[in-house]
């Protein structure tokens, strides 16, 4: 909901909660627990990293040349390339 869309790390909330409860129960039972636990995450790359959006990449039609050709004429001639 922000511009540009933010790059984030996607956590698995269920796995995070399950692991937290396991560690809490182990601590309450007097077991030794690791000081640090690393859980897998997924990087979700969006525009805040400086990457252009997929829509921008797909809409790039190469270099632009200024001509006196009417837009409608140029569009009809290059329609397949645009689509």
Query: What does the alpha-carbon distance between residue 25 and residue 28 come to, in Å, rounded to a whole number?
Result: 5
Nearby residues of 49 by Cβ (< 8 Å), 6 or more positions away? 7
Q: Are residues 41 and 5 in contact, defined by beta-carbon separation less than 8 angstroms?
A: no
Instruction: Supply the pLDDT for residue 30.
Output: 96
Instruction: Supply the pLDDT for residue 9.
Output: 86
Instruction: Supply the pLDDT for residue 27.
Output: 96
Per-residue pLDDT of the chain (83 residues; tens, 9 = 90+): 677 788 888 888 999 999 999 999 999 999 999 999 999 888 888 877 777 666 666 565 555 566 666 777 777 877 777 66
Instruction: Supply the pLDDT for residue 57.
Output: 60
Q: What are phi and psi of 60, to 5 degrees?
A: -65, 120
């Amino acid at each position: 909901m922000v511009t540009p869309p933010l790059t984030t790390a996607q956590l698995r909330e269920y796995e995070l909660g399950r692991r937290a409860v396991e560690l809490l129960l182990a601590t309450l039972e007097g077991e030794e627990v690791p000081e640090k636990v690393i859980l897998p995450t997924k990087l979700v790359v969006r525009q805040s990293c400086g990457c252009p959006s997929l829509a921008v990449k797909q809409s790039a039609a190469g270099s632009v040349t200024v001509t006196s050709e009417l837009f409608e004429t140029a569009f009809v001639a290059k329609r397949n390339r645009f689509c």
